[in-house]
Amino acid sequence: MSTQNLHMYRRPEALLNVRTHYCAGCGHGIIHKLFAEALGELNIREETIVVAPVGCSVLLYNYINVDGLEAAHGRTPAVATGVKRAQPNRIVVSYQGDGDLLAIGTGETLHAANRGENITVIFVNNANYGMTGGQMAPTTLVDQRTLTSPKGRNPQETGYPIRACELLSTLEAPAYIERVSLHNPGAVKKTKKAIVKALQYQKEGRGYSFVEILSMCPTNWGIEPAAGADWIKTSMVPWFPHKVFRDRPAEAAAAGGKAS
Amino acid sequence: MKQGIPEIDKERCKGCGLCIANCPKNILEMANDINSFGAYYTICSDESQCIACGACSLMCPDAAIEIILKREVG
Ligand SMILES: Cc1ncc(C[n+]2csc(CCOP(=O)(O)OP(=O)(O)O)c2C)c(N)n1
């Protein structure tokens, strides 16, 4: 009797062997890792082009071994549209924060979704503007304190947090819309599945796929990383519920199964 | 019961502690030492108790933890 050791978990190959600039416990790191794993699983690393946003993840293409380009703040879906139309055989991913996607880039977000562009949007919702030091974002929760809402967000003054998935679900064209989160290992597993599914759908030419990921920003929230993960669960999830809002390919498969 | 070895790359670790908070066996802890970047890092206090669940490697934002599965053969 002897023991044989094998790797159960290995760093994904698509993740470059460099140290990221992210703060300790930042959700962007987890999402980069999952994205890199998904690229490996689907074997699409070489054909993928990622459009990086303005925000903390602005250097995304330095961490993941794929082709990438940088868009102006909020314009990633527009740039991704152009790239995909010019290079329809490439997998095009628009990676965005909440300030990028729902504030300065609301128009691009809505119209790319409405046109049903065959791209994948990975939306990192950390309830504030991380890169610039933690200002209020459209997704900041009611009463949440940020740099620009020091007494807590007051909905009389600044409205209520916008729910991106629900908003996009009112459109006809999107093929896949899901909200997931990073608050514990089980949730992280589900997040990975959602990213894989979205990329798979794009590969199959099913149309627009959108994955919203509730992520932690412990530095700007002013709490420890583990407390940040708990805060997602206790504060963010009640307002931003986990849900598959749209899954056209699965619905079609289910309907087809019934008919036959 | 599965048996594992968490391999922690201390130079990648930023000491966020997400792995420590999510280890079901409570065998991870922060070292009383810093790496070359000046960050505290995670160590495993008792590898014999690791069940190779993968919770730590799933939560790690810096992909600093690889899990090796021990298997009896022969
Ligand atoms: C046109 C323009 N306006 C404003 C800024 C300043 N700015 C840089 S990042 C950012 C917000 C980023 O927040 P978010 O998209 O939530 O991403 P995070 O950093 O939280 O990941 C802003 C407003 C800019 N760079 N360009």
Q: Which positions in chain A touch B20 (Cβ < 8 Å)?
A: 226
Question: Is A247 close to ligand 1, i.e. is its CB under 6 Å away?
Answer: no
Q: Is pLDDT larger for residue A146 or for residue A256?
A: A146
Confidence at A256, pLDDT banded by 50, 70, 90: confident
From A128-142, A188-202, A243-257, the region with the lowest mean pLDDT:
A243-257
| B57 domain-assigned | yes
Rounded to whole angstroms, the Cα distance separating A256 from A250 reads 10
- Please name each of the domains of chain A with its CATH number: 28-253 (3.40.50.970)
**Residue with CA at minimum distance from ligand 1 atom 1:** A73
Please give the tally of structural domains in chain B. 1
Kindly give the pairing relationship between strand A176-181 and strand A209-214.
parallel
Which alpha helices (DSSP H) does chain A contain, by range? 27-42, 76-86, 98-99, 106-114, 155-158, 164-168, 185-203, 218-221, 225-231, 237-239, 248-259
Rounded to whole angstroms, the Cα distance separating B9 from B6 reads 10
pLDDT, average across residues A208-227: 97
Residue contact A185–B52, C-beta within 8 A: no
| B51 domain-assigned | yes
* Residue pLDDT, tens place only, A52-64: 999 999 999 999 9
| B28 domain-assigned | yes
Q: Is B69 on the interface with A (CB under 8 A)?
A: yes
Name the residue range of residue B38's domain. Answer: 4-69
CB A165 within 8 A of CB A201: no
CB B24 within 8 A of CB A186: no
Rounded to whole angstroms, the Cα distance separating A60 from A181 reads 20
Query: What is the model's pLDDT at position B1?
Result: 74
Which of B5, B18, B26 to mutate against chain A (most A CBs within 10 Å)? B18
| B62 domain-assigned | yes
CB A212 within 8 A of CB A240: yes
Q: What is the mean pLDDT of chain A?
A: 96
Confidence at A257, pLDDT banded by 50, 70, 90: confident
Rounded to whole angstroms, the Cα distance separating B13 from B64 reads 6
Report the percent of chain B where pLDDT is more than 70.
Answer: 99
Query: What is the model's pLDDT at position B2?
Result: 84
pLDDT, average across residues A65-72: 96
Rounded to whole angstroms, the Cα distance separating A186 from B67 reads 17
| B10 domain-assigned | yes
CATH of the domain at B51: 3.30.70.20
User: Residue A90 pLDDT more than 90?
Assistant: yes
Rounded to whole angstroms, the Cα distance separating A164 from A212 reads 8
Residue contact B62–A229, C-beta within 8 A: no
Residue contact B59–A188, C-beta within 8 A: yes
Rounded to whole angstroms, the Cα distance separating B8 from B70 reads 16
Phi, then psi, of A212 in degrees rounded to 5:
-95, 130
CB A76 within 8 A of CB A84: no
CB A44 within 8 A of CB A199: yes
* Residue pLDDT, tens place only, A5-52: 888 899 999 999 999 999 999 999 999 999 999 999 999 999 999 999
User: Residue B74 pLDDT more than 70?
Assistant: no
- A83 HSE (CA, 13 A, CB side): 24
Q: Is the dihedral of CA A111, A113, A116, A121 positive or negative?
A: positive
Residue whose CB lies within 8 A of the most ligand 1 atoms, among A63, A132, A144, A147, for a mutation test: A132
| Min distance A239 CA to chain B CA atoms (Å) | 23
Query: What is the model's pLDDT at position A259?
Result: 59
| B74 domain-assigned | no
